């Protein structure tokens, strides 16, 4: 990858090298340093490919002219055609560790993955190089020169190995649109000269922040899909957790990185309980906690404790701590809302947004009573953007109904409906309106 600045050609080269490895290794036995061998072979193949591409562009131009389409001499056609290219799981330790969904990591599997490619000794130059390569790739995909949407697409493609079709489906855009987005981003890598390199020390904090944000966006979209029939898109949650695991191994000294992993594990542990049989949202308070994944919760809590011990708290660790408050409560009634409210109060200092304040309002309401919470929510509700946030009105409605102000609560729910919530929320809201107004099948459309 270092010698070719063109991501498309590098992907082709590595894939061919992997194919060669697959056919040759069983016969010849695995070489002593599979990763080194692969890189060596890949370099050869990259040169071949660069030469072939040079000849191909001319052929493509000729073909384009015959077909009557536009010719793009600087942009050989990729990545839409052909089979999906995947970044090979060469450094098994990074990508295999998170492959199992549910039940947490399998220590035996992790150990096997770690030793599988000759980079088991973390002190070895091969291991260090593998880590460096992976980090450089992730930092490149999350480079600030790309728009956030492009960063997410590139990361899912090049680091997680999702196909263009899979990414398009995940974000509910046509495949052609996603292909274009990826092609533009790859074109920019080449045209603008974005190279694989570790960010400078003074940029590290920002650049790690950018990477964490990408992972968080991917998870959030999977946890609560912004459109489409399903509330949860499990494959995105899985991809995000896999990324977070990789990052936690690559950047062991960064508590915010393990804080993010902890947050994702603690949150995703609830997956099975969050949707009912009709596909509607089940509130945290109503979830069957027996369905929560205990192993993921244990792992998440352990990671969080280790991170907090570093003494460098940050937003992801705080979010994880809030999630841990829920996961440690055997039932909703035992939740330590005072602690959660305090954590949100701390989070506000890192993330001074109305959304955080709104969540704090709910926590305060739960610990001091709905009236206290409503005061905060009403104060926050004047924020222009927040007024268009369905969750705010759902929260208000909840507090109002607890105060016995049923009509106002129903009104708040109806406002939430008008703001176009997701299908799963819609079902939940309509049911609540029905309960409040006594009309089980009320026409609330």
Query: Residue 125 Cβ, how far from another protein at the closest point, in Å?
Result: 24
Contact 319, 342 (CB under 8 A): no
Binding residue (CB under 8 A) for another protein from 19, 128, 145, 227: 145
Cβ proximity to another protein: between 203 and 286 the closer is 203
The residues, any chain, with a CB within 8 Å of residue 135's CB and separated by 6 or more, are: 198, 250, 251
Give the one residue of 2, 44, 51, 197 binding another protein; rule: CB under 8 A. Answer: 197
Angle at 99 between CA 291 and CA 224, to 5 degrees: 50
Q: Any idea what DSSP says for residue 383?
A: S
Q: Which stretch binds another protein (CB under 8 A): 27-35, 192-200, 227-235, 247-255?
A: 192-200
Please identify, using beta-carbon distances, which residue of 19 and 205 lies nearer to another protein.
205
Which pair of structure tokens corresponds to residue 150? 């492009």
Among 2, 172, 176, 191, binds another protein (CB under 8 A): 191
- The helix, strand and coil proportions of the chain, stated in percent and rounded to the nearest 5, come to 65, 0, 30
For residues 386 and 87, give the distance between their C-alpha atoms in angstroms, rounded to a whole number.
40
For the CB of residue 58, give the shortest distance to another protein in the complex, in Å: 5
Residue 192 makes contact with another protein by CB under 8 A: yes
Judged by CB under 8 A, which stretch of 190-198, 212-220, 419-427, 437-445 contacts another protein?
190-198
Distance CA 350, CA 348 (A): 5
9 binds another protein, rule: CB under 8 A: no
Q: How far is the CB of 130 from another protein (least distance, A)?
A: 22
Closer of 94 and 183 to another protein (Cβ):
183
Cβ 195 to another protein shortest distance, Å: 4
The binding track of 198-217 with respect to another protein, each residue x by CB under 8 A or -, is -xx-----------------
Q: Spell out the residues 6+ positions from residue 114 whose beta carbon is closer than 8 angstroms to its own.
A: 92, 93, 120
Query: Based on CB atoms, which residue is closest to another protein, 143 or 151?
Result: 143
Helix 354-368 to helix 390-402 angle (10° resolution) is 10
CB of residue 257 vs another protein: minimum separation in angstroms?
22
Show the binding pattern over residues 125-144: x = contacts another protein (CB under 8 A), - = does not. Answer: ------------------x-
Give the nearest distance from C-beta 73 to another protein in angstroms.
Answer: 8
Residues 6+ apart with CB under 8 A from 53: 9, 76
Among residues 54 and 294, whose Cβ is nearest to another protein?
54
As to burial, measured by CB atoms within 10 angstroms (0-12 exposed, 13-18 middle, 19+ buried), residue 195 is exposed
Query: What is d(CA 184, CA 301) in angstroms, rounded to the nearest whole number?
Result: 40
Q: How many CA atoms lie within 13 A of 220 on its CB side?
A: 9
Q: Which is nearer to another protein, 207 or 213 (CB)?
A: 207
Q: Which 21-80 positions form the footprint of another protein (CB under 8 A)? A: 58, 73
312 binds another protein (CB under 8 A): no
Q: 329-333, long-range: CB within 8 Å, 24+ apart, which pairs?
A: 329/289, 330/289, 331/289, 332/284, 332/285, 332/286, 332/287
Residue with smaller CB distance to another protein, 145 or 285:
145
Any bridge partners for residue 281, and if so which? 275
Select the residue interacting with another protein from 194, 250, 266, 341 (CB under 8 A).
194
Nearer to another protein, 61 or 288 (CB): 61
Report the interface residues with another protein, using CB under 8 A: 58, 73, 143, 145, 191-195, 197, 199-200
């Amino acid at each position: 990858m270092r010698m070719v600045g063109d991501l498309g050609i590098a992907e082709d080269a590595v894939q061919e090298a992997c194919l060669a490895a697959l056919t040759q290794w069983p016969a010849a036995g695995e070489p002593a340093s599979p990763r080194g061998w692969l890189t060596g072979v890949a370099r050869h193949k990259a040169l071949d490919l660069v030469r072939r591409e040079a000849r191909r562009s001319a052929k493509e131009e000729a073909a384009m002219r015959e077909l009557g389409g536009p010719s793009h001499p600087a942009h050989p056609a990729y990545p839409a055609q052909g089979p999906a290219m995947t970044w090979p799981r060469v450094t098994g330790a990074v990508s295999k560790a998170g492959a199992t969904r549910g039940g947490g990591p399998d220590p035996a599997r992790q150990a096997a993955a770690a030793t599988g490619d000759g980079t088991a000794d973390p002190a070895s130059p091969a291991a260090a190089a593998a880590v460096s390569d992976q980090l450089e790739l992730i930092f490149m995909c999350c480079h600030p020169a790309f728009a956030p949407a492009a960063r997410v697409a590139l990361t899912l493609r090049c680091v997680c190995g999702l196909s263009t079709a899979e990414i398009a489906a995940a974000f509910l855009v046509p495949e052609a649109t996603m292909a274009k987005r990826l092609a533009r981003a790859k074109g920019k890598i080449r045209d603008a000269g974005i190279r694989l390199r570790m960010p400078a020390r003074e940029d590290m904090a920002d650049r790690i922040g950018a990477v964490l944000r990408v992972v968080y966006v991917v998870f959030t979209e999977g946890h609560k899909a912004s459109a489409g029939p399903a509330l949860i898109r499990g494959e995105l949650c899985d991809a995000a957790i896999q990324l977070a695991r990789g990052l936690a191994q690559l950047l062991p000294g960064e508590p915010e990185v393990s804080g993010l992993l902890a947050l994702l594990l603690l949150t995703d542990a609830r997956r099975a309980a969050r949707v009912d049989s009709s596909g509607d949202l089940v509130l945290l308070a109503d979830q069957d906690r027996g369905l929560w994944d205990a192993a993921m919760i244990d792992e998440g809590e352990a990671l969080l404790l280790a991170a907090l011990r570093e003494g460098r708290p940050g937003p992801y660790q705080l979010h994880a701590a809030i999630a841990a408050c829920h996961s440690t409560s055997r039932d909703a009634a035992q939740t330590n809302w005072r602690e959660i409210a305090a954590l949100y109060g701390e989070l506000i200092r890192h993330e001074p947004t109305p959304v955080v304040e709104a969540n704090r309002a709910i926590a305060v309401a739960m610990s001091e009573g709905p009236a206290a919470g409503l005061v905060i929510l009403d104060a926050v509700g004047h924020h222009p953007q927040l007024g268009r946030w369905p969750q705010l009105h759902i929260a208000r409605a909840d507090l109002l109904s607890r105060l016995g102000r049923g009509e106002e609560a129903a009104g708040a729910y109806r406002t939430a409906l008008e703001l176009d919530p997701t299908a799963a929320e819609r079902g939940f809201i309509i049911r609540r309106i029905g309960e409040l107004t006594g009309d089980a099948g009320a026409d609330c459309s």
